[in-house]
Amino acid sequence: MKKIVISTGGGDAPGLNAVIYAVVMASHARGWEVYGSRSGYLGLLDLDELVRLTPDKVADITSTGGTIIGSTNKGNPFAMPIENLAGEVEIHDVSDRVMKNFNRMGFACHIAIGGDGSLEIAHRFAVEKGMNVIGVPKTIDNDLEATQSTFGFDTAVSTATEAIDKLHSTAKSHDRVMVVEVMGRDSGWIAVNSGISGGADIILIPEIPFDMDEICKKLDDNELHNKDYAIVVVAEGASAKDAEVITKGAGEVGRAEKVLGGVGTWVAQEISKRTKKDTRALVLGHLQRGGSPTTCDRLLALRFGATAVRLAENQQYDHMVALAGDEMIAVPLERAISKRKKVPRDGDRVRTALEIGICMGVSQEELPF
Ligand code: F6P
């Protein structure tokens, strides 16, 4: 009998529960026990936060959003924010306590479902503490180079596309420019996929720093062709040429990444100032992370979960499951966390966007087509 522990770390993504379901069911079929560690590593720090996951506990969760065991993006056991008696937050390394509990519970391995940050922590546990870990890639941003796709991304793109679709009628009725800010951190995958699919006029992504003159030129050109409204899709990590990425600061204590956001409002203000057009900005925000996973995300998540259990059976630790073509493969975690996946400037998405008349925020001469 094997005992395994599963955790979900970082921002939630539709499909997390489907991975949990597949891990529990595939383990149960092998006669193994599964435990869920609440809120990332909390269950391994405090055994009261460990929950036994049995088939009856996970019945019907595949189609639900979020994660039944909770998640956090400020729970790195190597640098954990802990409040002292004076109410001040101090950073402590509690990784040894995690290992002690892991061994005490007799866990054979830890299946860590997370994005780059969580997978990096899992890899550290493997290398520095000898924990048997298997990674499952999760992020709506789709920015992990080692896997063709991550679950949560398709749902986020579908939500964003649906929102953009709905903006057309209101933008048209008022002859307005509507600027929509979407998530994605330093990668423009959500913006470019939803922008092309939703019929945006302009798409701004982090991979192509934009030029406000080109954006205004496109809006003028629209007017010349009797189109008095426009939809601009901006990735939260996009920035103007020679300008810094706009952020909302460091965020909560213990958080590894800054909180992005604000570029949509900035672009809308610039458009309004320069063109005098009626302009509005909206931020889709966490709507993109919520709700039921699409069929595509569910299937990918279930396949990832079943594959992770297969890796556990073969004791192929310190690896991450990944999608390559239509195959499930195992990639060493070290490689998996080493590179972010960016939208290629010379790729087919950018080319398609230009060919169907979408402005990518710069003049066509600046792109290789
Ligand atoms: O990485 C997923 C993501 O949703 C990003 O697209 C976004 O920048 C970030 O998480 C938001 O994080 P939080 O929910 O902690 O504000």
Residue 320 has pLDDT above 90, yes or no: yes
Answer yes or no: 48 catalytic: no
Between the CA of 11 and the centroid of ligand 1 the distance, in Å, is: 6
- Mean of the per-residue pLDDT values of the chain: 96
Q: Which residues contact 148 (CB under 8 A, 6 or more apart)?
A: 322, 323, 324, 325
For helices 212-224 and 263-275, the axis angle rounded to 10 degrees is 60
What is the mean pLDDT of the segment spanning 180-196?
98
pLDDT at residue 252, as a whole number:
83
Between the CA of 129 and the centroid of ligand 1 the distance, in Å, is: 29
What is the atom index within ligand 1 of the atom nearest the CA of 259? 16
What is the mean pLDDT of the segment spanning 107-134?
97
What is the atom index within ligand 1 of the atom nearest the CA of 255? 15
Between the CA of 12 and the centroid of ligand 1 the distance, in Å, is: 9
| Joined tokens for residue 81 | 């924010």
Residues with CB under 6 A from ligand 1: 11, 73, 115, 139-141, 183-185, 236, 259-260, 289
Ligand 1 atom 3 nearest Cα: 11
What is the mean pLDDT of the segment spanning 143-157?
97
Fold (CATH) for 155-290+344-366: Rossmann fold (3.40.50)
Query: Which residues of the chain form CATH 3.40.50.460?
Result: 155-290+344-366
Q: Check 141, 154, 186, 318 and give the catalytic one.
A: 141
Q: Give φ, ψ of 361 to 5 degrees.
A: 90, 0
Question: Which is nearest to 260 in space by CA: 276, 237, 233?
Answer: 237
pLDDT at residue 2, as a whole number:
94
Tell me how far apart the alpha carbons of residues 133 and 318 are, in angstroms, rounded to a whole number.
5
pLDDT at residue 269, as a whole number:
98
Residue 255 has pLDDT above 90, yes or no: no
Q: Are strands 230-235 and 202-204 parallel, antiparallel or unpaired?
A: parallel
Residue 254 has pLDDT above 90, yes or no: no
Do 75 and 256 meet the contact criterion of CB atoms below 8 Å apart? no
Q: Which CATH architecture has domain 3-151+293-336?
A: 3-Layer(aba) Sandwich (3.40)
* Cα-based torsion angle of the residue sequence 70, 72, 76, 82 in order, rounded to the nearest 10 degrees: -100
The DSSP code for 82 is E
Mutation test of ligand 1: which of 12, 16, 113, 140 has the most ligand atoms closer than 8 Å to its C-beta? 140
Residue 122 has pLDDT above 90, yes or no: yes
Query: Residue 283: how many CA atoms within 13 Å on its side-chain side?
Result: 14
Tell me how far apart the alpha carbons of residues 65 and 148 are, in angstroms, rounded to a whole number.
22
Residue 1 has pLDDT above 90, yes or no: no
Q: Are strands 319-324 and 33-37 parallel, antiparallel or unpaired?
A: unpaired
Q: What is the DSSP string of 287-313?
A: GGG-SPPPHHHHHHHHHHHHHHHHHHH
Query: Which residues of the chain form CATH 3.40.50.450?
Result: 3-151+293-336
Between the CA of 160 and the centroid of ligand 1 the distance, in Å, is: 15
Ligand 1 atom 14 nearest Cα: 11
Q: What is the pTM of this model?
A: 0.96
pLDDT at residue 190, as a whole number:
98
pLDDT digits (tens, 9 = 90+) for 173-184: 999 999 999 999
What is the atom index within ligand 1 of the atom nearest the CA of 140? 2
pLDDT at residue 253, as a whole number:
80
Which run of H or of E encompasses 103?
helix 95-104
What is the atom index within ligand 1 of the atom nearest the CA of 289? 4
pLDDT at residue 257, as a whole number:
86
pLDDT at residue 15, as a whole number:
98
Mutation test of ligand 1: which of 73, 142, 258 has the most ligand atoms closer than 8 Å to its C-beta? 73
pLDDT digits (tens, 9 = 90+) for 64-76: 999 999 999 888 9
Between the CA of 190 and the centroid of ligand 1 the distance, in Å, is: 13
Q: What percentage of the chain exceeds 70 in pLDDT? A: 100
In single-letter form, the type of residue at position 357 comes to G
Between the CA of 235 and the centroid of ligand 1 the distance, in Å, is: 12
What is the mean pLDDT of the segment spanning 108-128?
97
What is the atom index within ligand 1 of the atom nearest the CA of 236? 8
